[in-house]
Structures are given as C-alpha cells and as structure tokens.
Amino acid sequence: MITDPIAVTLLLGTFLILILLGKHIAFAIGIATLVTTFYLGIPMQTAAQNMVKGINVFALLSVPFFILAGEIMGAGGISRRLIKLANALVGWLRGGLAMVNIAASMFFGGISGSPTADTSSIGSILIPMMKEDGYDGDFATTVTMASSIQGLLIPPSHNMIIYALAAGSVSIGQLFLAGAVPGILLGVALMIYCYFVSLKRNYPVGDKFNMKTALKAVWEAGLGLGTVLIVVIGVVGGIFTATESAAIAVVYAFIITFFVYREIPLSEMGGILTRSIKTLSIVMILIATSAAFGWIIAYLKIPAMITNVILGISQNKIVILLIINILLLVLGAMMDMVSIILIITPILMPVVTSIGVDPVHFGVIMILNLGIGLITPPVGVILFIGSAISGIKLEKLTRSMVPFYIVMLITLIIVTYFPQVVMFIPTHFMG
C-alpha cells in the first residue's frame, strides 16, 4: 500500500500534541489538517471546501432542532414531571429513589438525547433528595451519572444522526429503533445492581404503588413524552424525514412548555435560544473540521492501512470486535464524542463490514462505548458535572463509579456479541 508515512505522522502527531497541550478538540483537528495539507502541497481551499461540504448536508438540519427541542422541554418543568412519573412506577421498590433516578433518566434521555442535560437537570433535583433520604452522596451521584448514558441510546438521539452522516447510507429510523432495547437493557442492569446495593446498605423503600397516582403521573408527563413519539413514529413510519420531525417536535415542545405547563415565561426563550446556539456552534465546528480531517485521512489511505493491521492481528470476529471496543473505550475517555464519531467511523467501517457486522449494529456499539467514555477520566465531562452538583471530589466519584463501569461493560458485551438485541426491532419493523 502506497502512502506517505511522514504525512501520517505529521497529521496524527500534530493532533495528539495539541490535545495534550489542552487545546480544544476542534482547533486540534483543524490545525493538524492545515499543517498536513500544506506539507502535501494541496491547495488550502481544498480544506475549506471540505469543511463547507461537511456541514452542507440536509440531514444535519435536524440537529439544531433536536437540540432546541431538548432545551425547551428541559427548561419547562418536564424534569419534575418525569421524576414524578418514575416515582409512581418504580419508587415503591427497595432503594426507590435510585430506581426513580434511573427511570427518570430513561424518560428524559428520550427527550433531550443529552447526558449532560440529563445529569444537570435530573441530578440537581434527585441528588439532594437522595442524600436527605439517607443515601450516600457518592452513590446518589454515580447513579445519576451512569443512568444519564441511556439518553444516547433511547431515541431520538442527535448523536445517532451524526453517526448516520459519518457512516453513509445508514437509515436514521433503523438507528433510532436499534438504540431502544440496549438503552432499556442498560437501565434494567443498573436497577438490578442498585437493588442489591440498597438491600446491603438498607436504603429506604418508597411509598406503595398506587394506580390512581400512577395514572395521574402518566397524564401529566405524557404531553412531554409526546415529543419522543412525534419523532420516532414520524421517522420510522416514513411520515416525516428526521429534519421535518425535529422541526415539528420544536413547535410541539414550545406549545406544551409555554402554553400548557406554563411554568416559565416567554421571556425565557431568549436564554433557551442562546444555550441552543452555543451547543450547536460547538457541534457544527467539530463537524466542519472533522470533515476536512476525514478527507485527509482518506487521501492518505489510513482506513485501508488500519483495516489491514487489525485483520493482520486476527481474522476472528470476536477478537476484532474486542480490539475495536478497547480502542473506542480509550478514545472515549480522552476525546469529544462527536469528533470521535466523525473521525473514527469512516476508518473502522471497512473493518466491521468485512467481518459481517451491520452498520446499524456497529452504530449502537460505538455510541454505548463513547457514552462510557463520558463518565471516565481524564476528560469525562459527566464526571465534572456530577462533581459540581454534588460537591464530591472527582477522585472519590471515580472510585465509586467502578461497579457501575462493570455493569455498563457487561451491557456493552451483550450488545456487541448478541446482535439480535440490537437488530430485532429495526429488522422486524423496517426490514
């Protein structure tokens, strides 16, 4: 295979040095691309053209709408209603508030698709409640952080859309459906662990199950959860495109928040738009610079080179998937999630397709892997948010996370090596 080893070293070396120096991931990607482009003698406008091409994609129009819908619902009292619903459904179990935390994250994740928003909104309410009720502070915080990862899998998820863009010709509807069972499986696994911890530490039992209370909670939270139904049913049923469904979800979320729930005034919309634009700007600059970076990677034939290296180690599907999982876990602990999806997906796609892994299945494997990275040092952003909310040091939270890491890794193994868990629903409903 003919490639330029100096250019490859320059590209990856510049990128890694800038990351180690603490530069923002988007700048590290962009500068490494420009330096390598200059070395190769490629016109600089080629990099600029690829940056524009990377964000000039119709499917990306759905991302700002999903972000805005999540911000509107998160600010409008939906968190409290979802916690009330979760309490009515699972709060009667031993360690009820821990179960409520996980179930609320499952519901909220379907609306926001953001673990950071989940940890911030659910955690700010439930962590103090759990501590008051006799739960250890580190346990309350780690439950919140671990359960927030469900939001990456439970549809709709804007990270799934970004993966579909990076993978090419992958159905967004199938990705949405594929994430549902793994997301629920992760929640159930966390609940089982929390139940045994609650028995051991004698955490309190919540109020007995009451059907009237449960139905009332479903009614109050149902309007908020309607956002999820609009997107998933619309996309899967072929009624809307992902972009159209996201735009409709924004209008629906706006009406429910400001004219039905009416817990915040219309004047709050300015702050919601500001936060949405800030999040979107970070995502879009990452997509633009990653597109140029990805073009250079393809130009240097790095995907083919990595494919040959991995397949040279082993032809065994189990071993190859293990290698890929380890690689993604390491990268997820050190880099931003969106940039990893955009850069690594085109590199690994030839490897996984060569061993017969469906791109939809691989998308769920990647998202879950990188979700674990969000709560793993040294860069895990969810750890910092959990620490800020609870006031507990990162070192203590990291130690307390160890059992949760084990639970999540077991879930990852099931998702990786039992593709039926991921593919049954999308295959059954969409072929």
Does the structure show a pLDDT above 90 at 410? yes
Instruction: Band the pLDDT of 3: cuts 50, 70, 90.
Output: low
Side-chain-facing half-sphere of 225: CA atoms under 13 Å:
18
Asked which of 91-100, 127-136, 197-206, 297-306 is least confident by mean pLDDT, the reply is: 297-306
Residue 208: the pLDDT is: 82
Q: Of the ranges 26-30, 82-86, 394-398, 400-404, which is most confident?
A: 400-404
CA angle 297, 302, 304 (to 5 degrees): 130
Instruction: Band the pLDDT of 185: cuts 50, 70, 90.
Output: very high
Asked which of 128-142, 324-338, 358-372 is least confident by mean pLDDT, the reply is: 324-338
Instruction: Band the pLDDT of 320: cuts 50, 70, 90.
Output: very high
Q: Please tell me whether the peptide bond between 426 and the residue prior to it is cis, using omega within 30 degrees of 0.
A: no
Q: What 3-state class would DSSP assign to 363?
A: helix
Residues 6+ apart with CB under 8 A from 58: 243
Alpha helices of 256-380 — where are they, by DSSP H? Answer: 269-299, 302-313, 317-332, 337-354, 359-373
Does the structure show a pLDDT above 70 at 431? no
Pick from 211, 201, 194: nearest CA to 96: 194
Mean pLDDT, residues 118-128 taken together: 83
Q: How far is CA 342 from CA 248, 286, 339, 421, in A?
A: 27, 9, 5, 25
Residues 6+ apart with CB under 8 A from 30: 289, 292, 293
- Counting residues of the chain whose pLDDT is more than 90, the rounded percentage is 31
- Counting residues of the chain whose pLDDT is more than 70, the rounded percentage is 98
Mean pLDDT, residues 299-314 taken together: 82
Kindly report, residue by residue over 223-265, the tens digit of the pLDDT: 877 877 787 788 777 788 878 888 888 898 899 889 888 888 8
Instruction: Band the pLDDT of 333: cuts 50, 70, 90.
Output: confident
Element (H, E) at 28: helix 25-40
The span from the CA of 424 to the CA of 418, in Å, is: 11
Residue 235: the pLDDT is: 77
Written as one letter, the residue type at 173 is G
Residues 6+ apart with CB under 8 A from 266: 258
Instruction: Band the pLDDT of 214: cuts 50, 70, 90.
Output: confident
Alpha helices of 148-257 — where are they, by DSSP H? Answer: 150-153, 158-167, 172-201, 211-236, 242-255
Does the structure show a pLDDT above 70 at 73? yes
Q: What DSSP assignment string belongs to 86-152?
A: HHHHHTTSBTHHHHHHHHHHHHHHHHH--HHHHHHHHHHHHHHHHHHTT--HHHHHHHHHHHTTHHH
Does the structure show a pLDDT above 50 at 424? yes
Instruction: Band the pLDDT of 118: cuts 50, 70, 90.
Output: confident
Instruction: Band the pLDDT of 201: cuts 50, 70, 90.
Output: very high
Q: What 3-state class would DSSP assign to 205?
A: strand
Does the structure show a pLDDT above 80 at 376? yes
Residue 161: the pLDDT is: 86
Mean pLDDT, residues 209-223 taken together: 83
Residue 1: the pLDDT is: 44
Q: Measured between alpha carbons, how far apart are the two ends of the chain, in Å?
A: 38
As a whole number, the mean pLDDT across the chain is 87
